Structure 1
Amino acid sequence: MPASPGPVPTSRQTTPAADELPPSGTLGGERRRSVEQIALLLFITVPFLALIAAVPLAWGRGVSLLDLALLTVFYFIGCHGITVGFHRYFTHGAFKAKRPLKIALAIAGSMAVEGPLVRWVADHRKHHKHSDAEGDPHSPWRYGETVPALMKGLWWAHMGWMFDTEQTPQHRYAPDLIKDRDLRRVSRQFVLWTTVSLGAPAVIGGLVTWSWQGAVSAFFWGSLVRVALLHHVTWSINSICHATGRQPFRSRDRSGNVWWLAVLSCGESWHNLHHADPTCARHGVDRGQLDSSARVIRWFEKAGWAYDVRWPKQSRIDAKRNTPDTKRGENRKETSGAHAA
């Protein structure tokens, strides 16, 4: 599986005719339709409103152990589906997986309700190609470096970019996924896996408590609140981790390490090393940097389900480490002025 989307067509190259391309990896094709925009708005706002309502509800009446367990289990299934599956495996090829694991990771990532697999991967590959420069789908530095511009950019990087009607060309950035029949099918079944993700906690809660009240409570905490929390943690990697954080490694962008997001992001917030070495299977490479996604990959490797894992080598890590003369200031010079729009 390729770690990058390959060469970008130039003006001299011709775009393949529609009948020469394999089927799209999403039902909506390359452009967001009005119906999809409305569905996206609902997927974002309804769980977010539930997350806001969860604070007074938890304070006033608490949350049951069953609801908390459902929230936690489904959160980390979806989170690792995104981090191990969508990100480290499908986007960057940090390891290879046997077919059952490949399909399982595609489904687990889809249950995070962050969009179809092919679209997610295409967007992220484009992000790495143009990271924090013109062409990046979600850089917080898009509008400039003043405080008002950064505030606007943080909003764009966190969630505003998802409402852009023009989408990353799937056949250009994720052709390998589209050609894979298993992955194309899972990606096009996004609505199905969203339904499973939202419905399963309610079914389990109702069966365990044998009551409609238990089902509704489980749906609120295990579905809505869980999805909203996972959404905003994931989106914080795009926004917060590209606006602040330590940079112990050399990268051509402003990616930083944000320690307080490490547990909830399953290790993704050790973002500086990831941008310095995108195909590395482990992001938290220094002592004390928790990276549960790397641990899960290790378990898959020991079970024989994953192989050819690209674990970090000390010599490679040392070669990419910043020296006192190559701190954040140097990285800023490389990207300064590239984000005015």
Structure 2
Amino acid sequence: MSTTVGPALEPAIVKLDPASRRIKWVTAFTLMTLPAIGFAAALYLLWTGQVTAVDWTLFGVMYAVHMAGITIGFHRYLAHKSFKTSRFFEGALMIAGSMGGQGPIMFWVTTHRRHHRFSDHEGDPHSPNLHGPGVLGKLRGLWHAHMPWMLSDETSRWTVFAPDVLRDRRLMFYHRTYLYWLALGLLIPTVVGLVVGGSLMAGFTAFVFGGLARIFVANQAAWCVGSISHMWGGRPFDNGDRSANNWPVAVFTFGEGLQNNHHAFPGSYKHAVRAWEPDLSGWVLTTLGKVRVVWDLRQPDKATIAARRRRSHARTPQA
């Protein structure tokens, strides 16, 4: 690594040296394009009638594991420390999140914490609102926030954004072995398809649906959180940014699309502040709390939420 990025952001963000930038670019580009190829293959298999009930089941199960690993494990547990759990369940969450192909633990946590620190201001790694005025500026920002931000030559300092994770040898083990868990997420559906279907073709279609296409669809949904949910939706809380509650995104991402709520109360294990808001991960955590799989679940009380809402309504609405 070399020079810092602007004195105002020092020492939080640094420019990568050429060799590190190439590694990051190739890795990110590969993990964006290979699942897209798999998704195209899935469409072809659908068109030619070669998809089975096993393939659909594997897609659904692996999607749920993938999304739970990211939303409950990487996000609410690791990035925000919104609950505690056992070493065993922690490991299951870290493995499930790694199967999602969104990058290893330290990349994910440092990027997300940096996003909260600079949300929709200079330094935010994936804001859609910093790319000029007008329709073209919004389109450029939306595209940048969805995928190309991952090809940036910047990186977030581990010692600034995640010193707690860096000190944890157990968590760093999952960081270092990220590629093994990613491969496991592709191997599991393939093996199930081979065993249940009894043929190489059955293994291949299971690999496509439960592996590559699942990663593509789940990550497209997840990346909508940083793009669409920072541009369109409801804003009951004034957070000083453009975070918004977008219900369609929330449904597909198990509650992550409730970005305005989340930015108002980032340490809460729930993203929903009203019972009817779609937050599947929050509901799952509530259930797991009742059976003591997780504990010390953090959330604001009703009085705190109401007070924050009143203060927001008293301010001038954002343009």
What TM-score do you get using the length of structure 2 for normalisation?
Answer: 0.90
Q: Secondary structure at the match of 1:177?
A: helix
Aligned equivalents of 1:174, 1:42: Cα separation in 2: 26
Aligned to 1:214: 202
Aligned to 2:112: 124
8 A contact 1:267–1:283 mirrored in 2: yes
- Kindly report which structure 2 residues correspond to 1:100-249, keeping only aligned pairs within 5 A, or say none: 100-249=88-237
Aligned equivalents of 2:19, 2:274: Cα separation in 1: 41
What amino acid is the match of 1:108?
A
Aligned equivalents of 2:300, 2:18: Cα separation in 1: 36
Aligned to 1:50: 38
Aligned to 1:265: 253
What amino acid is the match of 1:184?
M
8 A contact 1:31–1:167 mirrored in 2: no
Compared CA separation, residues 189 and 324, structure 1 to 2 (3 A): closer
Compared CA separation, residues 73 and 167, structure 1 to 2 (3 A): same
Listed one character per residue, the Cα deviations across residues 95-142 of structure 1 (whole Å, up to 9, x for unaligned) are 112222222211111111100011100000000000001111110012
**Structure 1 residue 260 displacement after superposition:** 1.2
Aligned equivalents of 2:194, 2:310: Cα separation in 1: 53
Aligned equivalents of 2:17, 2:72: Cα separation in 1: 25
Deviates more, 1:88-97 or 1:42-51: 42-51
Aligned equivalents of 1:61, 1:164: Cα separation in 2: 40
Aligned to 2:83: 95
What amino acid is the match of 2:46?
A
Q: Secondary structure at the match of 1:167?
A: strand
Aligned to 2:282: 294
8 A contact 1:205–1:215 mirrored in 2: yes
Deviates more, 1:232-241 or 1:49-58: 49-58
Q: Which structure 1 residue ranges, 4+ long, deviate > 6 Å from structure 2? A: 28-31
Aligned equivalents of 1:158, 1:239: Cα separation in 2: 5
8 A contact 2:24–2:151 mirrored in 1: no
Pairing partner for 2:242 from 250, 254, 259: 254
8 A contact 1:243–1:255 mirrored in 2: yes
Aligned equivalents of 1:89, 1:231: Cα separation in 2: 19
Q: Does 1:330 align with 2:314?
A: no
Aligned equivalents of 1:188, 1:156: Cα separation in 2: 28
Structure 2: runs of 5 or more not aligned: 1-5
Listed one character per residue, the Cα deviations across residues 45-97 of structure 1 (whole Å, up to 9, x for unaligned) are 12113324434542441631100111111111110111011111111111112
Aligned equivalents of 2:30, 2:192: Cα separation in 1: 24
Aligned equivalents of 2:241, 2:277: Cα separation in 1: 21
**Structure 1 residue 38 displacement after superposition:** 1.7
**Structure 1 residue 30 displacement after superposition:** 12
**Structure 1 residue 29 displacement after superposition:** 11
What TM-score do you get using the length of structure 1 for normalisation?
Answer: 0.84
Deviates more, 1:168-177 or 1:256-265: 256-265
Q: Does 1:61 align with 2:49?
A: yes
Structure 1: runs of 5 or more not aligned: 1-9, 16-27, 333-341
**Structure 1 residue 326 displacement after superposition:** 5.0
Q: Does 1:80 align with 2:68?
A: yes
Listed one character per residue, the Cα deviations across residues 289-328 of structure 1 (whole Å, up to 9, x for unaligned) are 121101221232122231111134111111122579557x
8 A contact 1:107–1:193 mirrored in 2: yes
8 A contact 2:236–2:312 mirrored in 1: no
Compared CA separation, residues 211 and 176, structure 1 to 2 (3 A): same
Aligned equivalents of 2:261, 2:162: Cα separation in 1: 23
